[in-house]
Amino acid sequence: MANIKLVLEYEGTNYYGWQIQPNVPTIEGELQNALARILKQRVIITGAARTDRGVHAKGQVVSFKLSLSFPVFQLIPALNSVLSPDIRVKRASQVKNAFHARHSARYKIYRYVICNNFVLHPWLRNFSWWVPFPLNCKLMQDAASYLIGRRDFSSFENKGSPFMSPVRCVQKIKIKKQGSLITVSIKADAFLYKMARNIAGTLVEVGRGRFSPLDVRNFLLTKDRRKAGPTAPPQGLFLWRVGYDRDIFDKNSW
């Protein structure tokens, strides 16, 4: 039985997130239906991350077991021919049997996009958070430095989280401004429920001058979600990349 790894990108605007839900379109549901149509069998897929409604992905990773012989390189054009245009398979590989899209991940990178302009560019309305107030990116970066390391991120975790422990290791946060666009890139070993959006919302409050960088440090210490900033809207968030060890590949990579 072959273990297959796919890398996807998608626009999440028209979907109720990654995970299958009854009677509504989801990314996982669309992909499972497409695989069943191509392979003539039902397969169970696992995603590296469960993106929320309206959240996008540039590097979502999926794994599944395949019992029949199917050329891996043909999965890309076959799936893309039946999937909606807002979902695309970028890469397909056969990997070692022990590989698991979620459990084998070493890190994830989320990128949050802010349109920091007096007028919202119409082509960015589904792909950014419109913040028409000046933002101080240096203060945002200073505040982000307090979030680096292995920390208890209870103050940045929304209710309804399925995780037992609120401890995560944030390896890097980078604030970058290009023209009217500001991006907040966060690399961590894993993320809590809405953690990336809560960090982005809090850093925007710092950029506006409502919080100081030291306030962010104190939010961590209180372990109280009510103290930190708002949850940033979903359309600005992208699952950018999921990282794995280099020895996962078996053969027939494409």
**pLDDT range class, residue 252, cuts 50, 70, 90:** very low
- Run of H or E including 59: strand 56-66
Of 161 and 100, the one with more pLDDT: 100
Instruction: Output the average pLDDT for the chain.
Output: 94
41-68 pLDDT, tens digit each: 889 999 999 999 999 999 999 999 988 7
3-state secondary structure of 29: helix
Per-residue pLDDT tens for 213-224?
A: 999 999 999 999
CATH 3.30.70.660 residue spans of the chain: 107-240
Name the maximum alpha-carbon separation found in the chain: 59
Report yes or no: 185 and 177 within 8 Å, Cβ to Cβ. Answer: no
**pLDDT, position 161:** 72
CATH code of 107-240, in short, is 3.30.70.660
202: part of which helix (H) or strand (E)?
helix 195-207
Residues with a catalytic annotation lie at 52
- Please list the residue range(s) of the chain that carry CATH number 3.30.70.580: 2-104
H or E element, residue 251: strand 249-251
Q: Which residues of 36-49 are buried (b: 16+ CB within 10 A; e: fewer)?
A: eebbeeeeebebbb
Checking if the pLDDT of 124 tops 50, the result is: yes
Residue 144's Cβ-count burial label (10 Å; 0-12, 13-18, 19+) is: buried
- Tokens matching residue 15: 């979907």
| C-alpha to C-alpha distance for 182 and 232, rounded to whole angstroms | 14
- Give the CA-trace dihedral at 141, 59, 121, 173, to 10 degrees: 0
Query: Can you give the pLDDT at residue 249?
Result: 53
- Which of 77, 89, 85 lies closest to 45, judged by CA? 89
Q: What is the pLDDT of residues 186-216, one digit of tens each?
A: 999 999 999 999 999 999 999 999 999 999 9
Mean pLDDT, range 4-28, rounded to an integer? 96
- Condensed to tens digits (0 to 9), the pLDDT of residues 228-244 reads 999 999 999 999 999 99
pLDDT at 253: 45
Q: What is the pLDDT of residue 246?
A: 76
Percentage of the chain modeled with pLDDT above 70: 97
Query: Distance (Å, rounded) from C-alpha 161 to C-alpha 157?
Result: 7
Mean pLDDT of 79-86: 97
Q: How would residue 247 be classed by pLDDT, with cut points 50, 70 and 90?
A: low
Mind listing the pLDDT tens digit for each residue in 131-169?
A: 999 999 999 999 999 999 999 999 999 987 777 899 999
- Is the CB of residue 231 less than 8 Å from the CB of residue 213? no
**pLDDT score, position 254:** 37
Q: How far apart are CA 250 and CA 152, in angstroms?
A: 37
- In CATH, what number does 2-104 get? 3.30.70.580
DSSP per-residue codes, 76-141: HHHHHHHS-TTEEEEEEEEE-TT--TTTT--EEEEEEEEE-SSS--GGGTTTSEE--S---HHHHH
